[in-house]
């Protein structure tokens, strides 16, 4: 898992989005990962969506 890893769950506990919301290190602005996460937050239904993650590795 990395610092840029995002998990979104529906109210009933189902994973609806997993991944990154930036296109790459240092990227600013909109991109497909952010659009997908935003769509899920607004209630768009569908299968779980996953996007590549960019960030620093997190350790226990």
Q: Evaluate whether residue 56 is within a structural domain.
A: no
Residue 37 has φ and ψ, to the nearest 5°, of -65, -40
Number of structural domains found in the chain = 1
58 located within any domain: no
Please give the model's pTM, rounded to 2 decimal places.
0.64
- Domain span at residue 11 reads 6-51
Is 60 contained in some domain? no
Residue 22 maps to a domain: yes
In a domain, 23, yes or no: yes
Interval 19-38 mean pLDDT = 73
Most confident of 1-5, 10-14, 26-30, 43-47: 10-14
**Does residue 1 form part of some domain?**
no
In a domain, 37, yes or no: yes
Q: Show the CA angle centred on residue 39, arms to residues 8 and 19, nearest 5°.
A: 40
């Amino acid at each position: 898992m990395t610092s840029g890893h995002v998990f979104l769950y529906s109210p009933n506990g189902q994973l609806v989005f997993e991944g990154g919301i930036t296109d790459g290190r240092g990227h600013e602005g909109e991109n497909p990962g952010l659009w997908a996460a935003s769509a899920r937050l607004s209630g768009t239904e569908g299968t779980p969506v996953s996007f590549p993650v960019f960030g620093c590795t997190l350790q226990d």
